[in-house]
Structure 1
Amino acid sequence: MAVDEVSGESVGLDEVDTRTGWLLNLIACAGAELVARLWQPGTFDVLAAGRDQQGRKLPAQGHVAAARLGWTPCYPDGIYVPSRVTRVVTAQVTSTLRTLAYRDTAIGVLCSRFDSDTGRLAPATGSEVCVPSGFARGVCRQLAARSRRGEGTQATWLRITDLQGPPQIAALARLSAADRQLAQLTVAGGELVLTVKLPTCPAPAGRAQWRWVRLTAAIPEHLHGRPVTDWHLPSLVLDRGGVLWRCAGTEMVPAADPVAGTVAVGVDWSPSTLGAAALVAEGPNGLSSDFHGWTYDDRGLGVKLARLQTEGQMLHRKSARLRQLALSASPEVRDRLESKIAVLEAHRTAVGAKRRKINRELAFHFASQVTAYSVAAGAQLIAVEDLTTLETRSHGRVNNNRAAQSARRQAVVALAHTAAGVGIAVVSVPARGSSAWCPGCDEPLSRPGGYHSAWCVRCEVGGNRDHMAGINLAKRVLLGKTNVTRRRGQMPTVRVTEHAPVRRCRDKTSPTPRQPRHRRVRCSSPAMTERVGVNSNQSVPASQASMWDTVKPVAPQGVAGSRDTRTSVRSATAVADSMRST
């Protein structure tokens, strides 16, 4: 519910959505204006140096750094915006520009090695900044497109402002960048109470048109038993259901000690599904595993994501083609084409929203399944592949694109969050050769059954390719648990790959995954009923009963509905004669 803080009157939720939309519109417009004004090479030079005009180090807070650099958004004449809303705008703009500062530096490094005639990059020297190969190919495509447009790449040092325009600013209000003069959050029982200033009109002219509104929302039931010690100010967005709060909370979890871990689960990112897991245990006789893994079942969400991705790409190609036609069309035809382009872009935005929602659901479902598997196995460590060095290749253009756009990063974040609640540490390990080398002898594996199979002739072990990769990843985290690198804001990482033989254990070590039965079908065996027809020697099973069956069989003619009445079986000759007569 929503209540006006001054008058105490109830405010309708539709009115709250409208006033929140006015606030987000002010933030988005001011942010777009500020980004367009700062979209120049000097801005990225300052961010890359990390120093202000006096040579002082820029603070980590975005709004403080923007205030020190003099970055202030401009509002239309006659509109009053509180200074705390300006903080929200500058914090969002500064974080976006800081993210693009790395891309600006990488573009400058790669353009000096780009050959416009061949469209390829020259080999890198040892003194250059290391750029991931996937990122380098994306920049190479941008440089090739610039060369095809006739703009050329004669400059020895291009900037990001030369290749692309300023980014869009999302309609998002990060209230954590402000203080109590804009928003306050309190907890009362099982409810969160947010008191925030909202405008009363689209263009507020003074302070009187900014009023306090008290919003109350219930804490979700799955968080009632969690040891949450503090709730932080949320980010406000608008979706189809109205105002959405994205809250962060501080929760006390058991501390995870990677050094003391003796059982590890390795998670391999698979091109066929999101991931697969396998178990390795460390004992007095060394490392052992039963070479039986577990494969994640995405419940068909991967097929839906592939369909939505194909649909989004089709909409993008069609809108791009219509833009090309609109350049040389008459004014009347151009207006019709622009209206069609607007419709296509709206559909593409809706498809993107569906994909984001499914990706988040898929990531947290995968995290819960892997965490449950690790808890059942008694594991203390979960090893995941390092995504910065992982790249999909040799699966075809379509499959490579689908794998590259999968929710792996979200799945890692969700897995680290879910596993921390049960005291399991998630560590990133090198990905190179995990599915190509044998865990026992460290020799190349053969593929007797195709891509998804793996077999070692020397050790006489094998199985699924993803399960073998999971064993290698779990082995690497157990061997490198004493050399874990920790950086603030990043996941613990093992950077050195070590080898030790993993022997095959005859005892069962990995847990048996649950096999959920479809609740709509009964478990009873089907009964055999006699076939009524030409050949009565064959029998067919009856259809499986379901609780969702609502269509009742029609009673035969002349039967009042009694279950004791038996119908006479017609002979095959009579049936054939009736068919001939018709």
Structure 2
Amino acid sequence: MTGSGSTVPRQFSFTTRAYTAVDDATGEPIGLDDVDTRVGWLLDLIAAAGGELVSRLWHPATFDVLAAGLDRQDRRLPAQGHVAAARLGWAPIYPAGVYVPSRVSRVVTAQVVATLRTLTYRDTAIMALSALFDPATGVVAPPIGSGDHVSAGFARGVQRQLVAFSRRSDGAQSTRLRITDLQGPPQTSAMARLSAADRQLARITVADRELVLTVKLPTSPAPAGRAQWRRVRLTATIPKHLHGRAITDWHLPTLVLDHRGLLWRCAATELAPAADLMAGTVAVGVDWSPSTLGAAATVVEGPAGLSSDYRGWTYDDRGLGIKLARLQAEGQLLHRKAARLTRLAATAPQEVRAQLEEKIAVLNEHREAVGVKRGKINRELSFHFARQVTDYAADAQAQVIAVEDLTTLETRGHGRVNNNRAAQSARRQAAAALAHTAAGAGIAVVSVPARGSSAWCPGCDAPLARPGGYHDAWCPRCRVGGNRDHIAGVNLAKRALLGKGKVTRRRGQSPAVRVAEHAPVRRCRDKNGPTRRRPRHRRVRRSRPIVTPRLGVTPNKHVPASQASVWDTVKSTPPQGDAGSRDTRISQAPATPVADSVRST
């Protein structure tokens, strides 16, 4: 039950790094570089064993078992990946003479089962779409049953795989293909999810705003026994933004190595205000815009029905969108250059091929750097957008934030460049950041259908006119209009309020409204939305340099320009009544003889 003042637990993630390390048995300090080396040995063992296990399980029978969700005794497979692998008899294999604790094997199997479970959905979709695929035309027929329906973007990706397979096999294929027929086993990431283990491998404690992680690490690349696995105690500082929050549990982190060394990807559970979706009477609709990341508008449900002032709010990305577009174009240019050099290197002589491969390596390195920079900007943009939208909803006293369902949203009709740019925007990351930030304020985030949100009138549900171009919307019947993104925000908020009693909830996803209902939204003059915040510049006193005014120079300029010629100091006497003019000279006598002498020459 949720009510006013109630709280619910929620999980969130953060990152941190260790600043000190000691041996848990002897207490001797260990250098962080040595810790990075030992963690690298652990990740190499996990990645090698995980890659071998995935290759061994890469056959249709594996996906049949995971799709059914039953073991050999027809028992339901547990959600924990390492327990499900133990039920099915899946165990990693290590090189001869290498000893690895059983808890590390748990980490390996948990990561492998999570990857295979994710690919099970793709395998099921490939089976359904391959039965509708025509090798002669390369077209997938529309699905017959509702169970075979997948998103349009996903279906196009599978269609490209089917076309490529048809070309490799000269058009001969079976009735139903599997994912193992179209692609090879995926690569496993070098990371260690310690949450799959227990206290025998790792444990975490909190003391004085610090996280202390005790974990077993190998002392050699190929440990031969238990003695070559020793416990290391790592200490990291809790980030400042977590101080003072009602955190009830700290979970074991995931260890990864980046260019700076060991990185902890941690998770924690805190108590957040409960969001009562059914009691929501004010909703904010967020429309994903092609020009900026998003725009919002407010709808209020009252005794007289739904109302809105139709005055929305547009997010200002502070120029980060332009920077992302530039980085995207730069990354694509580097990719094209590398692809062209790769084609040239395939038929080049040995000496030229070596030079081209060096250039290709440099281009790939630069492209990866551009990708890392884009990822950082996308994260900053997502959380800044989430903070701004949450503040807007809190100021409007909204209980619900409605966002477009990204699975039904597809960018098209804006040209190849704009479509690609909008498709690569961090919308899903921004939606996740919005759900996380809004939950901290007790506001529920609901996904609603996106179709027709900016094309239909919120009042009469008639097609909108575009008198001012693409970004303008106007309804001649209801006589309402404005920015098309603000109109879309009104439609999205309306759908959330009308469908709050028919919300579907799935594990790990935000609540969703599947059907778009209509009710007229009248335009009111009441102030529903918050007042726009205007930046206020702080006044700073600066001491001005004392400059002696010169003749012939405007007095209000503190740093006068250099005199170009003698004519710059000669000006006519100001007219009568203009004694207060800024151009009035103290005395014109010194300049007149000079001018006369120059004219006489």
Structures share a fold, TM > 0.5? yes
Deviation at 1:521, TM superposition (A): 9.0
Q: Alignment partner for residue 420 of structure 2, among 393, 401, 410?
A: 401
Give SS of 2:65's match: helix
Q: Alignment partner for residue 56 of structure 2, among 33, 37, 42?
A: 37
Q: Alignment partner for residue 411 of structure 1, among 430, 436, 456?
A: 430
Deviation at 1:469, TM superposition (A): 0.4
Over residues 233-277 of structure 1, what are the superposed CA-to-partner deviations in whole Å (9 max), with x where a residue is unaligned?
111112232211111111111111111111110011111111111
Q: Is 2:401 aligned against 1:388?
A: no
Does the 8 Å CA contact 1:143/1:153 hold for their aligned counterparts? no
Which residue in 1 is equivalent to 2:387? 368
Over residues 138-175 of structure 1, what are the superposed CA-to-partner deviations in whole Å (9 max), with x where a residue is unaligned?
11122223344464353222222222222121111111
Which residue in 1 is equivalent to 2:502? 483
Counterpart code for 2:252: L
Which residue in 2 is equivalent to 1:86? 105
Q: Alignment partner for residue 226 of structure 2, among 200, 207, 216?
A: 207
Deviation at 1:114, TM superposition (A): 2.1
Counterpart code for 2:68: A
Counterpart code for 1:189: D
Q: Is 2:462 aligned against 1:443?
A: yes
Q: Is 2:215 aligned against 1:196?
A: yes
- RMSD of aligned Cα (Å): 3.1
Q: Alignment partner for residue 475 of structure 2, among 437, 443, 456?
A: 456
Deviation at 1:382, TM superposition (A): 0.6
Counterpart code for 2:370: V
TM score, norm. by length of structure 1: 0.88
Does the 8 Å CA contact 2:454/2:487 hold for their aligned counterparts? yes
Deviation at 1:34, TM superposition (A): 1.7
Q: Alignment partner for residue 238 of structure 1, among 231, 252, 257?
A: 257
- In structure 1, what is the Cα distance between the partners aligned to 2:454 and 2:592? 62
- In structure 2, what is the Cα distance between the partners aligned to 1:173 and 1:451? 49
Q: Alignment partner for residue 280 of structure 2, among 261, 264, 271?
A: 261
- In structure 1, what is the Cα distance between the partners aligned to 2:539 and 2:184? 53
Deviation at 1:226, TM superposition (A): 0.8
Q: Is 2:293 aligned against 1:274?
A: yes
Which residue in 1 is equivalent to 2:135? 116
Which residue in 2 is equivalent to 1:144? 163
For CA contacts below 8 A with separation 6 or more, give which structure has more relative contact order.
Answer: 2
Aligned length: 551
Q: Is 2:248 aligned against 1:229?
A: yes
Which residue in 1 is equivalent to 2:535? 516
Specify whether residues 282 and 553 from structure 1 end up closer, same or farther in structure 2 by C-alpha distance, changes over 3 A only: same
Alignment of 1:27-106 (within 5 A): 27-106=46-125
Which residue in 2 is equivalent to 1:303? 322
Which residue in 2 is equivalent to 1:133? 152
Deviation at 1:332, TM superposition (A): 4.2
TM score, norm. by length of structure 2: 0.85
Q: Identify unmatched segments of 5+ residues in structure 1.
A: 524-529, 544-551, 558-565
Specify whether residues 292 and 24 from structure 1 end up closer, same or farther in structure 2 by C-alpha distance, changes over 3 A only: same
Deviation at 1:574, TM superposition (A): 9.4
Does the 8 Å CA contact 2:166/2:173 hold for their aligned counterparts? no
Question: % of aligned pairs identical?
Answer: 73
Deviation at 1:358, TM superposition (A): 1.9
Deviation at 1:440, TM superposition (A): 0.8
Q: 484-493 or 496-505: which moved more?
A: 484-493
Deviation at 1:482, TM superposition (A): 1.8
Counterpart code for 1:352: G
Specify whether residues 540 and 176 from structure 1 end up closer, same or farther in structure 2 by C-alpha distance, changes over 3 A only: farther
Which residue in 2 is equivalent to 1:345? 364
Give SS of 2:74's match: coil
Does the 8 Å CA contact 1:485/1:493 hold for their aligned counterparts? yes
- In structure 1, what is the Cα distance between the partners aligned to 2:165 and 2:396? 54
Deviation at 1:330, TM superposition (A): 4.2
Does the 8 Å CA contact 1:269/1:276 hold for their aligned counterparts? yes
Give SS of 1:88's match: helix
Deviation at 1:109, TM superposition (A): 1.5
Which residue in 1 is equivalent to 2:569? none
Does the 8 Å CA contact 2:465/2:475 hold for their aligned counterparts? yes
Which residue in 2 is equivalent to 1:15? 34
Does the 8 Å CA contact 2:82/2:107 hold for their aligned counterparts? yes
Alignment of 1:499-510 (within 5 A): 499-510=518-529
Deviation at 1:567, TM superposition (A): 12
Deviation at 1:70, TM superposition (A): 2.1
Over residues 93-112 of structure 1, what are the superposed CA-to-partner deviations in whole Å (9 max), with x where a residue is unaligned?
11111111111111122122
Which residue in 2 is equivalent to 1:563? none
Over residues 474-505 of structure 1, what are the superposed CA-to-partner deviations in whole Å (9 max), with x where a residue is unaligned?
11111111222222322111122221111111
Counterpart code for 2:37: T
Deviation at 1:420, TM superposition (A): 1.1
Deviation at 1:345, TM superposition (A): 2.9
Which residue in 2 is equivalent to 1:496? 515
Q: Which has the larger radius of gyration?
A: 2
Q: Is 2:176 aligned against 1:157?
A: yes
